[in-house]
Structure 1
Amino acid sequence: MEYLIIIGIGLLLLFIKNIYDEKASKERALIKLKKEWGQVPDEEYTSEKFEALKWFYNTKKDQYDIDDITWSDLDMDQIYMLMNNTSSALGEEYLYSLLRKVKYTIEPLKERNEVIRFFETNAEKRIQMQSTFSKMGKVKKLSVFEYLDRVNQLKKRTNIPHILMASGLILSLISAFIIGAASVAPIIIFLALNIIRYYKYKAEIEPYITVFSYIVKLLDSVDEMRKIDAPELQKYKDELESSMKKFHSFRKRTFLLSSGNNMSGDLSELIIDYVRILFHVDLIKFNNMLYLVQKNKKELFAMFETMGFLDSMIAVASFRTMMGQTVEPILVKGKKPILSVEDVYHPLIDEPIMNSINTEQCVLITGSNASGKSTFLRTMAINAVLSQTIYTSVSKYYKASFFKVYSSMALKDDLFSNESYYIVEIKSLKRILDSVEADIPVLCFVDEVLRGTNTLERIAASAQILKSFSNNNAIAFAATHDIELTHILEHYYSNYHFSEEVKENAIVFDYKLHKGRAVTKNAIKLLAMIGYKEEIITKATEQANRFLEEGSWKIL
């Protein structure tokens, strides 16, 4: 009797401890969510991870999206990582796709903004939603959307062979009580066949069980979300409930599935493993689940996308909080493209310098090396993308047309196709020119136009290419060292520049945008700063001054 009491007390204490641990775990999770809000997300990324993140987007991309060159030029992977405070695999895949699919009408952006605002101003509801999404979790190297699509490609299989073999084994076991030793042979045959067929089929479906497990988590999360009192999200809750009705039986008896070998040593799980092997109960359950998924794939994708959308909007709300100064852009349609920004800055730079510009025509930017030209181009382009995707500009004021955004900045030789830098560059520029159309204006950013060729032809060709942008439905921002272009194109381009000061043998940049063309150069000064011989500095300065005065170079 004493032993029973001790065992009872032990079980009671274990039960209490489990309740306490579960409560403590939930409290830690809530503290973590609160602590991470508005902070840079702590995530690990690999090349495999990014390939998985791209899969959902790749199924939906079209010609109006941010193309690969522009995405790379703007370091948008870094922007994505800065913003990816999602809690689920669905959310992070949806967010990546959202940042690449620029919108050209205000309605979808307004809808996104309403949800973002809700999460910004309702911390309690937001945390409840984040807790729900975190139960789905993330995966390291897989795309949930990709594997769901793979599931849809699986051939439908009947359960009849599994039922017949399980029935045969059961009947042979029953017959042992009736006919005795004569039933041994049928039992051995059915045991062998069932085991062989089980492992053959199980190997084929093993990768997809992970997806089904995620779908179960999704359905559990949808159930929890529907209980959250948030009238502002009722539209999405109704959509989820409508889709979920198709999966009423999906979660029943999911314990029959196993995603791997039993390594826990748990006796009940070991017994269930043998039941699975001998009677194929998990294979039968899998086929039933497969039938439901394939029959209702439209509804399942709808749930995936709705949950992904909501999770990604939480991440955007966190991003706005992190940035501090952000604004909801004013986006307009009209015959002539416009762009006006105040105190715009680069989201990846700590303590950034803010700049402003208001233009209805193309812009040439000159200035010394390292003065801030390229950073300003990226700043403007990133803000254009964010304005038309997450309805957010990291600035004090942003008003612009709906633009197709392109860049040609950080190009490289293409060794695989044996193309020189110049060939890569002119192809990159041509893709932008070819994208210009009457309906949607182009906003493009070019850093050092045609730097891959000689000075004479560079200036001549650059002038004509840049002029063609101004003659079409486009606003081009071009950074250049060629002061000649500021004179050649002065009727078509506004001139701006970045400048610097020399103080105590140091060059100090203010990184502020100024009107007019640049009048200072620092290339020769930089030679002196890092210790080149005085003779080289003096002779180079004399040659440069002579060219400015006479327009020709002295033969050495």
Structure 2
Amino acid sequence: MHTFIFVVFILILVSLIFIYEHKTKIKKLRILIKKQYGRKPNIKKCDSFKLGYYWREHAEKVAADEKIDDITWNDLEMDNVFCRINNCNSFVGEQVLYSALHCISKSSSFIELLELKISFFAAHDKEREDIQLLLCGLGKGSGSYFLPSFIAKMDAFRISGIWKYRLMQIILASSALPVIFYKNTNFLFVTLCVLITNIVIYAINKVKYEVDLDMLNSIIKVVNVGYQIADTKKYSYENEFHDLKKEAAIFKKLSSRVNILLRKKQASLSGDVFGLIFDYLIGGTLWDFIKYDQIIRILDGKQNDYTELYKKIGEVDMAITLASFRESLPLVCTPTFWGKHILQVEQIFHPLIDEPICNTVNIDKSCIITGSNASGKSTFIKAIAINVILAQSIHTCMAKKMNLPYARIITSMAVRDDLMSGESYYIKEIKYLNRIVQSLSEERLVICAIDEILRGTNTEERIAASSSILKFIDKKNCIAIVASHDIELTQILDKTYDNYHFCEQIQEKDIAFDFKIHDGVTTSRNAIKLLEYVGFPDEIIIDAKKPFLETEKKK
């Protein structure tokens, strides 16, 4: 009796310790969630391949003129922009956010609904934190990011030749029947032989099965989180958006089936001898493989339903992240879309700069931006391009005000030669520019951003070719924003392109930049002064200035 009481006491004590540790963990996690909301994320780098699994499966359904192409994505360092935004609590949210940043839809319905969700979570702190706790349960396990591809290619993960396992089950059962019903021990040897054969089959194939079982675990976690968020007794989100309940209910019955398999796997991994024996005895019936195949069969054919559930849960996480992102910015607005082919921005800035200088400009036609080195030209056109993307993808702008038309964005900036393909800098650049030319369409406005057009060739041909390309672009349904050192272009295109510039103040031992955009063409140069500023030998500086001094004397 005393032993029984002692055992009961130990069980209660262990249970209380477990409950206490669980509550402490949840309390710490809630504090961390509160602390991180509205703050700049700590993530500096991201695994774009891993994050891109969902986007790659989704991309083929998106029209070409609604995608951010890889060149534009890399030109604008959009992986870094993603890292600046990303405060997601789950792998699902990260993948859906990463995918959303690749798309600029022609329809306003997605961003209108997204804005309602962002506003909802910004206004409901307690519910937001509770849902964040649920999303944290999904985690960010490396293998989980493969889930969209697993779902899309479900048929490839079925167990081939499942009939063989069913046949071995039948043989095992048939050999055991005479032993059970007729007490005929002569058949016991046959039963043992079949069981051992099945155990060997199980041992050989279980490694692949357990890897795929981890995917099923992630699948069910997503379903369970969807089902919990859709609980209208706990949360008001589902009453507001009617978003998750339908899809979550379709897969709810799978949870118990997968959980049985998972508990068996956990027992085998515990290191307990009895757990291992149990694992292989049950494995000898090949029950695991049959049950796994049944689950895959249920999922197969319902990929669209599951992908929709996955997307909607990701959008919940994304909406919370965007609410946090907006709180972390010094200045933020939602865009106003209009039918005019005019970009009207007030106090716009680049999201990757911690202490940004804001600029205001009204771009109603193509323009050329001139200015000295390091004066801010490239940063400004990148800020414009990034904000055009974010306005149309996540309905958020780093500005006090931004009015713009729906438009495709395409760039030619960070050109590099490609030694592997044998392409020079100039060949790569003209291919980049040609893709801009080929993308122009009367059906949809294109905003193109070009940094230092045709810098990879000689001056005479560069001016001739650049002016011809920019004239052609200006005649199309396009607003071109071009940064250039070539003052000649501003003279050739003065009737069709507006001119802006960035400038600096050259001091005796320093160069001061205001990083503000101004009307007109630049009149300053600073390349030689920058050589002096970074410490080049005086001999080089003096020699570099000679041509300009001689020109001044002739005047």
TM-score normalized with structure 1 length = 0.92
How far has the Cα of 1:170 moved from its partner? 4.7
Corresponding residue for 2:23?
Answer: 23
Cα distance in structure 1, aligned partners of 2:14 and 2:237: 42
Match 1:74 to one of 69, 73, 76: 76
Aligned residues of 1:275 and 1:281 also touching (Cα < 8 A): no
**Identity over the aligned pairs, expressed in percent?**
33
Matches within 5 A, 1:68-147: 68-140=70-142, 142-147=145-150
Cα distance in structure 2, aligned partners of 1:106 and 1:549: 61
How far has the Cα of 1:180 moved from its partner? 5.1
SS at match of 2:473: helix
Corresponding residue for 1:554?
Answer: none
Label 1:29 to 1:536 Cα distance change in 2 as closer, same or farther (>3 A): closer
Cα distance in structure 2, aligned partners of 1:55 and 1:130: 26
Does residue 309 of structure 1 match 2:315?
yes
Q: Which amino acid aligns with 2:172?
A: L
Aligned residues of 1:364 and 1:486 also touching (Cα < 8 A): yes
Label 1:372 to 1:168 Cα distance change in 2 as closer, same or farther (>3 A): same
Aligned residues of 2:411 and 2:448 also touching (Cα < 8 A): yes
Match 1:439 to one of 443, 450, 456: 443
Corresponding residue for 2:500?
Answer: 496
Matches within 5 A, 1:91-490: 91-140=93-142, 142-155=145-158, 161-163=164-166, 165-166=168-169, 168-170=171-173, 172-173=175-176, 175-176=178-179, 178-179=182-183, 181-228=185-232, 229-231=234-236, 233-234=238-239, 236=241, 238-258=242-262, 262-266=268-272, 269-334=275-340, 337-490=341-494
Q: Which amino acid aligns with 2:269?
A: M
Root-mean-square deviation (Å): 2.5
Label 1:365 to 1:248 Cα distance change in 2 as closer, same or farther (>3 A): closer
Range that drifts further, 226-235 or 98-107: 226-235
Cα distance in structure 2, aligned partners of 1:30 and 1:274: 41
SS at match of 2:101: helix
Corresponding residue for 2:56?
Answer: 55
Cα distance in structure 2, aligned partners of 1:465 and 1:528: 36
1:291-343 Cα shifts (integer Å, max 9, x gaps): 11013222112211111222212211111111131101011224xx1101010
Cα distance in structure 2, aligned partners of 1:535 and 1:156: 75
Cα distance in structure 2, aligned partners of 1:26 and 1:115: 25
Cα distance in structure 2, aligned partners of 1:5 and 1:306: 50
Cα distance in structure 2, aligned partners of 1:160 and 1:248: 27
How far has the Cα of 1:429 moved from its partner? 0.8
TM-score normalized with structure 2 length = 0.92
Cα distance in structure 2, aligned partners of 1:408 and 1:485: 17
What is the number of equivalent residue pairs in this alignment? 548
Q: Which amino acid aligns with 1:120?
A: A
SS at match of 2:491: helix
Q: Which amino acid aligns with 2:271?
A: G
For structure 1, the residue ranges without an aligned partner over 5 or more in a row are: 552-556
How far has the Cα of 1:88 moved from its partner? 1.9
Cα distance in structure 1, aligned partners of 2:322 and 2:402: 18
For structure 2, the residue ranges without an aligned partner over 5 or more in a row are: none
1:168-205 Cα shifts (integer Å, max 9, x gaps): 43554564464554123312321132123323443453
Corresponding residue for 1:7?
Answer: 7
How far has the Cα of 1:458 moved from its partner? 0.8
Aligned residues of 2:51 and 2:94 also touching (Cα < 8 A): no
Cα distance in structure 2, aligned partners of 1:417 and 1:107: 42
Label 1:86 to 1:363 Cα distance change in 2 as closer, same or farther (>3 A): same
SS at match of 2:268: coil
Corresponding residue for 1:515?
Answer: 519
Cα distance in structure 2, aligned partners of 1:87 and 1:239: 19
Cα distance in structure 2, aligned partners of 1:548 and 1:422: 34
Corresponding residue for 2:46?
Answer: 45
Aligned residues of 1:148 and 1:211 also touching (Cα < 8 A): no
SS at match of 2:453: coil
Cα distance in structure 1, aligned partners of 2:350 and 2:274: 57
How far has the Cα of 1:495 moved from its partner? 1.1
Cα distance in structure 2, aligned partners of 1:217 and 1:408: 42
